C-alpha cells in the first residue's frame, strides 16, 4: 500500500473515530437532559403537591366569614343568644340555676392559664353548680390557634365542645373537664380530632356524636360560631384585661370582671356571698392574647 493510500486510510479511521466520539457524546447529552428534565418534573410535581396541600389547609382554616355572632347560621341549640353555653345544677348544657349569680368563663383549651383556673377552681365550680349557687356560662374561644403548630387546635377543640353541647348536652360539662385534664402544651399540634373523639367517648359522649369530632363535622358545623364569638369577645372592651386586650381566662361574676380567681376559694366565696366581684384585684393573669 502506498503512502497516499495509508494517509487516506488513517484519515478515514480518524473521521470514523471522531464520529463515534460525537455520537457517544450526543447520547450522553440526551441522557443527561432526560435525567435533568426528569428531576425537574419530580421537583415541580412535589412543589405542586405542596402548594395544593397548603391551599387546601388554608381554605379549611379560612372557611369562615367575618360576620356578627347574631348572623351565624349554625348555632348550638343550648347556647345563649349572646353566646356561651349555660350549665345549671344538673350539669347539663342549656340549664340554669334561677335567682343566683351568673359566672361567665371565657376559655381556650390550649391556654395554660385556663388550665390553672381549672386546677384552682374546678371543684368549686362544680360545687356552686350542684348546690344551686350560680349558673356558669362557658365560652370556649380560639385565640391561641397560632400556638398549635398550624393545627388550629383552639378552633377544633372549641368546635368540638359546642358540638357536644348541641348533640349531647348531658355530656358537655364532663367533656369540658376532660379536655383540660388532657390539655396539650402550647407550641405543639395539640390533640388530633381522633384523640378528642376518644376523650369525648371516655367522658360519656355517645359514639355517634364523638364520630362527628373525629371526621371534622364538628369543626365544619361550629367553626364559624367559634370564629364570630371570638371576634366579638376580642372587640368587647368590657372583657379587656389591664393590658388593653382580650385574653383567657376571663371570668365575670354578674357581668363584672373577677380578677382574684387565682386565690383558692375566692370565686366560690364571691358567688356564695351574693355575687360581688371582689374589690381586692390582683395582677390580671389573662395574658394569652
Q: What is the pLDDT of residues 262-281, one digit of tens each?
A: 999 999 999 998 655 444 44
Residue 282 has pLDDT above 50, yes or no: no
Tell me the C-alpha distance between 191 and 270, whole Å. 34
Interval 207-214 mean pLDDT: 98
- The percent of residues in the chain predicted with pLDDT above 70, rounded, is 75
For the chain, the helix, strand and coil percentages under 3-state DSSP, each to the nearest 5: 55, 10, 35
* C-alpha distances in Å from residue 86, one per residue of 91, 127, 165, 182: 9, 15, 10, 23
Q: Which residue has the cell 471522531?
A: 18
* CB of 232 closer than 8 Å to CB of 256: no
Cell triple for 5: 493510500
Q: What pLDDT does 280 receive?
A: 41
Interval 37-83: pLDDT, tens: 555 554 444 443 433 333 444 444 446 888 999 999 999 999 999 99
Cell triple for 106: 371565657
C-alpha dihedral over 256, 96, 130, 105, to 10 degrees?
Answer: -40
Interval 149-156 mean pLDDT: 98
Interval 240-259 mean pLDDT: 95
Q: What is 84-105 written as a DSSP string?
A: -EEE-TT--BT---TTS-EEEE
Q: What pLDDT does 24 receive?
A: 74
Minimum mean pLDDT among 27-31, 138-142, 263-267: which range? 27-31
Which residues share a beta bridge with 253?
A: 103, 256
pTM for this entry = 0.77
Angle at 223 between CA 86 and CA 57, to 5 degrees: 155
Interval 225-247 mean pLDDT: 95
Cell triple for 115: 388550665
Amino acid at each position: 500500500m502506498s503512502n497516499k493510500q495509508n494517509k487516506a486510510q488513517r484519515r478515514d479511521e480518524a473521521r470514523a473515530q471522531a464520529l463515534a466520539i460525537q455520537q457517544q457524546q450526543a447520547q450522553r447529552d440526551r441522557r443527561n437532559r432526560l435525567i435533568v428534565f426528569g428531576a425537574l418534573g419530580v421537583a415541580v410535581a412535589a412543589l405542586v403537591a405542596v402548594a395544593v396541600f397548603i391551599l387546601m389547609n388554608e381554605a379549611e382554616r379560612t372557611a369562615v366569614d367575618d360576620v356578627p355572632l347574631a348572623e351565624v347560621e349554625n348555632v348550638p341549640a343550648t347556647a345563649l343568644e349572646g353566646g356561651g353555653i349555660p350549665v345549671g345544677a344538673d350539669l347539663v348544657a342549656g340549664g340554669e340555676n334561677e335567682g343566683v349569680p351568673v359566672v361567665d368563663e371565657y376559655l381556650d383549651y390550649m391556654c395554660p392559664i385556663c388550665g390553672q383556673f381549672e386546677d384552682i377552681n374546678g371543684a368549686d365550680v362544680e360545687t356552686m353548680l350542684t348546690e344551686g349557687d350560680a349558673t356558669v356560662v362557658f365560652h370556649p374561644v380560639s385565640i391561641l390557634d397560632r400556638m398549635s403548630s398550624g393545627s388550629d387546635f383552639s378552633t377544633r377543640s372549641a368546635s368540638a365542645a359546642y358540638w357536644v353541647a348541641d348533640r349531647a348536652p348531658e355530656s358537655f360539662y364532663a367533656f369540658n373537664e376532660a379536655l383540660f385534664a388532657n390539655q396539650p402544651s402550647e407550641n405543639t399540634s395539640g390533640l388530633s380530632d381522633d384523640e378528642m373523639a376518644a376523650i369525648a367517648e371516655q367522658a360519656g359522649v355517645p359514639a355517634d356524636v364523638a364520630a362527628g369530632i373525629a371526621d371534622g363535622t364538628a369543626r365544619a358545623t361550629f367553626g364559624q360560631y367559634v370564629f364570630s364569638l371570638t371576634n366579638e369577645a376580642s372587640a368587647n372592651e368590657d372583657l379587656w384585661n389591664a393590658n388593653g386586650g382580650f385574653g383567657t381566662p376571663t371570668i365575670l361574676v354578674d357581668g363584672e370582671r373577677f380578677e382574684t380567681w387565682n386565690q383558692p376559694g375566692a370565686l366560690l366565696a364571691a358567688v356564695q356571698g351574693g355575687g360581688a366581684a371582689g374589690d381586692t384585684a390582683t395582677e390580671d393573669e389573662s395574658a394569652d392574647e
